[in-house]
Chains A and B, each alone.
Chain A
């Protein structure tokens, strides 16, 4: 399977704990995006990387959120001191020189209890 992969697929955590998600983009895709999707809504943009550089962050990305893409391949999204409002599906997408084609992974569903 050469699609975008995300791990874990599901995460249940208690309020106040830290969580980290991983995204592996399609091989050779140099752009990587994170989105958040809450129930009944469309995905909302969080941040994007071109290679290892984080070039844009949404105002939705509070200081409890941090994303990295250290070698320009996989990316991690960490949420510190989780809150119930962080419960959502976290989606990763990647694209290459055909910038207008973003391919999404299956998502990580986070539940904060």
Chain B
């Protein structure tokens, strides 16, 4: 079965880079996602990567995937106070039919002004 694990808290200073880490266990081809959730709100899709890729960059966001170690990271450059939120890592097996997402418990990012 799938299991996704993340550290629960991260605190960074405004302007620094944030790195949020995630490990997953599914061994099949999979999509891996990062979602952002602000208090009382739904989830915002930030970016995703397929498991045959090593890296994906999208503006301030860089996703790195180490498939051998099943380790995913999200780097946010020049972190701003508006980036304070909970970040969820999720995976979805490719070709399994439903594409349901399995989420980690989320990492709460606090940005100190």
Contacts and interface: CB of A to CB of B under 8 A. Distances in A.
Interface of A: 4, 6, 31, 33, 35, 40-45, 48, 55-56, 58, 91, 93, 95, 99-107, 109
Contacts of B41: 106-107
A22 to B, nearest CB: 15
B105 A101 contact: no
A93 B71 CA distance: 26
Task: Name the 3 nearest CB pairs between A and B, nearest first.
Answer: A42-B103, A45-B100, A104-B43
B105 A42 contact: yes
Nearest to A41: B105
Interface residues on B, range: 20 to 34
B45 A102 contact: yes
Nearest to B41: A106
Given A42-B90, A104-B44, A107-B42, A99 B99 contact: yes
B89 to A, nearest CB: 8
B103 A95 contact: no
B100 A101 contact: no
Contacts of B105: 40-42
B33 to A, nearest CB: 8
B34 interface: no
Contacts of B90: 42
